[in-house]
Homo-oligomer: A and B are copies of this chain.
Amino acid sequence: MPKTEQQFKKIRDNRKEEIIDVALQLFATEGYHSTSIAKIAKKAEISKGLVYNYFKSKEELLIKVVENAAKDVYKYFDLDNNGVLETSELKSFIDGTFHMLKEKIHFWRLYLSFAFNPQILEVISRNIPQKSEKILEMMVDYFRRQGVSNPMTETMYFASVLKGIAVQYIVAPEQYPLEDMKKKLLDQFCYFNG
């Protein structure tokens, strides 16, 4: 009995996801330029040619890798339905971010490695919509509601601190006291209503 169209699609999707996973790992641990298509194919136990059956170029594969990972990340940002951030939601958001940091360190390392490579960054920002702006707005609103005198500045500071923690952790995960830092972050930005 021949496979149905849906079965084929499922196979395709699985294969695709597997390639993306392998690529993410290799990109993150060895760098984008040092990871050849041949290496990805070998690790995914498929042929080089097949990679091109799913992605039309190495660049497209990169984009899909980032897109795919970004999906996971943004899950933690869709906390509120009404667009208004509560303190409890901010806490969840921070919880989520720290959790992800540990779980998806591969992705974060990759993501940050791109942040400083203008060429790759350009490719990514051209292809992947950035949702961060909306999140920032919500946060500004939150700090305003908390009575902070300069909510925009506070938001930027908060973002910087969070980014700094992430960076330090990723560079040396073993030595970094992530939990301590989380506590300090919560103390600094979430003490408002208890």
| A:145-162 near B, CB below 8 Å | 150, 153, 156-157, 159-162
Which interface class (under 10, 10 to 19, 20 to 34, 35 or more) fits A?
35 or more
Question: Per-residue CB proximity of A148-188 to B under 8 Å, as 1/0?
Answer: 00100100110111111101101100001100110010000
The residue of chain B having its C-beta at the shortest distance from the C-beta of A154 within the complex is B184
Contact between A29 and B118 (Cβ–Cβ < 8 Å)?
yes
**A75 in the interface, Cβ–Cβ < 8 Å?**
no
Across the interface, A181 reaches (CB within 8 A) one of B34, B47, B160, B165, namely: B160
Q: Which residues of B contact A32 (CB under 8 A)?
A: 33
Stretch at the interface among A11-19, A60-68, A96-104, A109-117: A109-117
**CB-based closest 4 A-B pairs:** A164-B164, A113-B116, A33-B33, A160-B164
